[in-house]
Amino acid sequence: MSGLLQSLTIVAPIVLVLILGFVAEKKKAFGDGPAPLTAINELVLTFALPAMLFFGTVTVSREAIINQLPQFVGLTATVLIMFFIAFSLAMFVFKRNAVESSIAGLGASFAAGPFYGPALLGGLYGDRADIAVSVFSLVVNIFLVPVAIVIIKMAMAKQAGNHSSVGKLVASSVFDSIFKTPFVLAPLIAFVLVFIDIKMPEFFLSSLELIGKATAGTAVFVAGMTIAVNQFKVNAEVITFAVMKNILLPVLFFVLMYVGFRDTTSTAFKENLLLCALPSAPLIVLLATRYKAYQEEASSLLAITTFGMMITLTIIMAIVV
């Protein structure tokens, strides 16, 4: 019962904010047309999210990363394997283009650990859980998201009629994905600062934390607005990626950690297993809105994995906690 209550304490605020966003869009609270949704979406992607990611990354110590190296490696392998499996399914089974397939891949592989992890783990493990959330954030923001953005940029360049050589296209896409995408560049810079042991002034970190706190709530609000604009979908495609996210991602992490490191009992393992069981990250809706692709599916996937979390997370908590 405690596991179910813990799940409900996370799900209830998400559902409420989804409903608020849905109602706001239906009532045209911010005006007609797509401009309000686009503006709020860009507020998160360009300002709030980069601040949150920079703060979450730069506050991790080198020692913490080194101590959790097995978890770091296991998580990286888990999310990248799941991303490419989902990407391939979206492209070859569900006949999606590369942009849509990248968002689908993130939907199946990017658990909302950076967004909802503190609320989940803080109540179970206290302040030490911040390290697990930070390491999880490092993995998805340093490895997973940049891979998806590079694929999206390459696909968009081809759609725009860029017929450069493959090498130039890849180089250009990588450059754009890093230096013209704040939510990719910010954690990368922070990651470098951590390893060369440069500390940021406290007032600077406090400023980033302040705006970064707006990320999760605003992103879920945007998801609610997106659901209001688009048709809610429950089809084989959405269900497939929801199952991959809520069930197969934690299972894959468990298998890789057992096979690679024989670790299925440490507190760090349990923390990361719970993070893998969280729903799809709101980032998928933000990207779908920015690139005008996969919007109905992304918002539906977010909603379904959020409700589904009450089952999967409760079961995992009953086993490991």
pLDDT in tens, 295-307: 999 989 998 998 8
Q: What is the pLDDT of residue 13?
A: 85
User: End-to-end alpha-carbon separation of the chain, Å?
Assistant: 12
**Helix (H/G/I), strand (E/B), else coil: 29:** coil
- Residue of higher predicted confidence among 239 and 197: 239
pLDDT in tens, 30-58: 988 788 888 888 898 899 988 988 888 88
Domain count, the chain: 1
* Average confidence score pLDDT of the chain: 87
Q: What is the pLDDT of residue 104?
A: 98
Q: What is the pLDDT of residue 94?
A: 96
The mean pLDDT value for 247-251 works out to 97
Q: What is the pLDDT of residue 235?
A: 94
The mean pLDDT value for 23-35 works out to 88
- Domain limits for position 49: 2-320
**Helix (H/G/I), strand (E/B), else coil: 111:** strand
Q: What is the pLDDT of residue 38?
A: 86
* 54-68, 115-129, 150-164, range with the lowest pLDDT: 115-129
The pLDDT of residue 1 is above 60: no
pLDDT in tens, 264-281: 888 889 999 999 999 999
Q: What is the pLDDT of residue 85?
A: 98
The pLDDT of residue 18 is above 90: no
Q: What is the pLDDT of residue 65?
A: 78
The pLDDT of residue 243 is above 70: yes
Q: What is the pLDDT of residue 127?
A: 64
Cα separation, 135 vs 69, in Å, equals 9
Consecutive H or E run containing 300: helix 295-320
Residue for token pair 């400023």: 207
Q: Tokens for 298, please give them.
A: 């992304």
The pLDDT of residue 165 is above 70: no
Q: What is the pLDDT of residue 180?
A: 79
Q: What is the pLDDT of residue 245?
A: 97
Q: What is the DSSP string of 205-235?
A: HHHHHHHHTHHHHHHHHHHHHHHHHS----S
The mean pLDDT value for 87-97 works out to 97
**Which amino acid is it at 294?**
Y
CB 245 within 8 A of CB 305: yes
pLDDT confidence tier of residue 208, bands split at 50, 70 and 90: very high
CB 271 within 8 A of CB 129: yes
The mean pLDDT value for 143-151 works out to 90
Q: Tokens for 17, please give them.
A: 């904010």
CATH number, domain containing residue 219: 1.20.1530.20
Q: What is the pLDDT of residue 207?
A: 94
